[in-house]
Amino acid sequence: MRSKRTTFLLVLSGLLFSTWSFAQQKDSVAYSGDDLHYLGYVMLTGDTSAWANMKNDDIYFFSKAMFFRTPNVLKYLKSDDLYFLGTAWIYGSKAELDKIATDDLYYLGMAIFEKQESYLDNIRSDDVYYLGKGLIKKDMNYFDQMSTKLE
């Protein structure tokens, strides 16, 4: 039979480690694969037919805001980080990037804002990395290296 102290220590360590793992998830984004591919495609080509294929609402509205350069579309985003990324790019305000909590989106924003690939080296998500690489180099071949979701 476990003592109360042992049970308390197990519960406490579980809480500490689960909190730490949640904090680590802020380093990378939840967006990946096809949606980021379509986002990059719309941003490079201006072909909005890709909107029909987007599954994630935040990526759809972010793409629409970037295409029309209208910040009022950003109000539909659930993600604060995408909102700040969008306002930074639309208004050209680097200060908005400092409000982004997710490291990957912050470094993507800095890379695009400064037009420097070196910021992309800090991105953990391969898909976000290739999105940034493709947008900076204006080369859609980088989007082909993103993961795909088979349905």
The pLDDT, as a whole number, for residue 125 is 93
pLDDT digits (tens, 9 = 90+) for 95-134: 999 999 999 999 999 999 999 999 999 999 999 999 999 9
User: Is pTM, for the whole model, over 0.85?
Assistant: no
Q: What secondary structure does DSSP assign to 98-139, as a single string?
A: GG---HHHHHHHHHHHHT-GGGGGG---HHHHHHHHHHHHT-
The pLDDT, as a whole number, for residue 150 is 43
The pLDDT, as a whole number, for residue 15 is 45
Handedness of CA 93, 64, 124, 79 (dihedral sign): positive
The CA-atom distances, in angstroms, between 68 and each of 30, 91, 113 are 24, 13, 18
Residues of the chain falling short of pLDDT 70 = 1-29, 149-151
Q: Are 40 and 135 in contact (CB under 8 A)?
A: yes
The pLDDT, as a whole number, for residue 31 is 80
Q: Are 147 and 127 in contact (CB under 8 A)?
A: yes
Radius of gyration of the chain (CA): 18
The pLDDT, as a whole number, for residue 33 is 85
% of the chain surpassing 70 pLDDT: 79
